[in-house]
Structure 1
Amino acid sequence: MHDQELIRILADDPFRLQALSIVRALDLADGWIGAGFVRDAIWDRLHGRPVQPPIGDIDVLWFNAARATPEVDKGLEASLLPHSPDSIWSVKNQARMHDRNGDTLYTDVADAMRHWPETATAVAGWLSRSGQIEINAPYGLDDLFALRLQPTPDFVTSKRAIFDARVRSKRWQERYPLLRS
């Protein structure tokens, strides 16, 4: 139910549809755009605001263990810039992010998102070769659409301080006053 609504929101947003198309052209293995790119589109809509380009960067996620270096990601960011020069692209091969996060090796992008702090942020979209938008949401979309700001299992207890710090620093509850914990 929420999948189709999310797909419709992304498809109806020229900026997001163009970004998905630009990333599709890179032909990245397990390549998605996630986090605020998706989350903020839904929260804006649920707050009765027009959907606007994401605040901050556009998180491009992909998974390829054979190309898991920061230099490859920086090269991909540079190749995206001419297509959308006003955007800040952040490309991260999730095959290397487990080290930074102190986790065990991730198996794919969905597995990496399971280790993100918030359920509503652990959502991504991609444009298939046939032009269809697909959604990757390892925790589902209920929290996102219910405006529920919830930690993922990793951040309920031992990493709770990280979750709480992110909520404060991102100021989501000021930007989106209907959010609830």
Structure 2
Amino acid sequence: MRKLETEQDIIQLVMEDEWMMSVLHTAKSLNLPDWWVCAGFVRSKVWDYLHGYTEWSSLADVDLIYYDLSVQDEAVEKQYEQQLRNMMPAVPWSVKNEARMHLINDIPPYSSSVDAMSKFPEIVTALGLTLDEQNKVVLSAPWGIEDLLHYAVRPTPHFAESPELMKRYEDRLVKKNWKSRWWKVEIIR
């Protein structure tokens, strides 16, 4: 097993995974603005690899986010999910327009999908992948990849600054129970 040390190492790992690349190409086919497949899709792949697992961890969902100020109707997101399910039925798609998600989260509006990612609960889920115009994989890691590569789970600064959000963070840790799958994970409170 080769070491993962850089963002390019993670990108290479993704490019070698036929299923992940199919997911990314399928997501790109919708032509959504500022789109990213994010969170557990990236984290789980890296942690599975670093733990030496040859079988992919089951994902509750595959999060596709995008940013479109012109249409902020949840019904449109559901239509995109259906289109994706028609193309890849085995994938548990979840599509969210981050231009409206600030309303759900009761915070000021996000400026982009990457801004929204930076406010996800954990640094290790604040990750996303997209394909550029030449179909090259692009990784966004607003808080870096150090926590991901060192199995550290800690809140993003956005969550850490709020007692209410920290309660949600703690509840997520219990629900996700990541240590049961990835024994090297260290929870940082």
Same fold per superposition (TM over 0.5): yes
Match of 2:169 among 139, 163, 172: 163
Q: 1:45: which partner in 2?
A: 49
TM-score by length of 2: 0.92
Q: How much has 1:5 moved relative to structure 2?
A: 1.0
Q: 2:68: which partner in 1?
A: 64
Secondary structure of 1:178's match? coil
Whole-angstrom CA distance in 1 between matches of 2:12 and 2:75: 35
- Sort the Cα spacing of 1:10 and 1:54 in 2 relative to 1 into closer, same or farther, 3 A: farther
Q: Does 1:175 align with 2:175?
A: no
Q: 2:113: which partner in 1?
A: 109
Q: How much has 1:154 moved relative to structure 2?
A: 2.1
TM-score by length of 1: 0.96
Q: 2:27: which partner in 1?
A: 23
Whole-angstrom CA distance in 1 between matches of 2:144 and 2:58: 21
Q: Which aligned runs of 4 or more in structure 1 are off by greater than 6 angstroms?
A: none
2:155/2:169 contact within 8 Å kept: yes
Whole-angstrom CA distance in 2 between matches of 1:55 and 1:118: 17
Q: 1:55: which partner in 2?
A: 59
- Sort the Cα spacing of 1:130 and 1:100 in 2 relative to 1 into closer, same or farther, 3 A: same
Whole-angstrom CA distance in 2 between matches of 1:132 and 1:168: 36
Aligned-partner residue type, residue 161 of structure 1: K
- Sort the Cα spacing of 1:16 and 1:53 in 2 relative to 1 into closer, same or farther, 3 A: farther
Percent identity among equivalent residues?
31
1:58/1:89 contact within 8 Å kept: yes
CA deviations 1:11-65 (Å, max 9, x no partner) are 1111110000001111110011001100100010111112516411110010001
Q: How much has 1:177 moved relative to structure 2?
A: 1.0
Q: What is the aligned length? A: 181
Whole-angstrom CA distance in 2 between matches of 1:81 and 1:73: 12
Q: How much has 1:175 moved relative to structure 2?
A: 1.1
What is the RMSD of the two structures over their aligned residues, measured on CA atoms?
Answer: 1.2
CA deviations 1:43-100 (Å, max 9, x no partner) are 1011111251641111001000111110110010011112111111100000000011
Q: Does 1:123 align with 2:124?
A: no
Gaps (5+ residues) in structure 1?
none
CA deviations 1:104-150 (Å, max 9, x no partner) are 01000111112111000000001122010001111111111111101
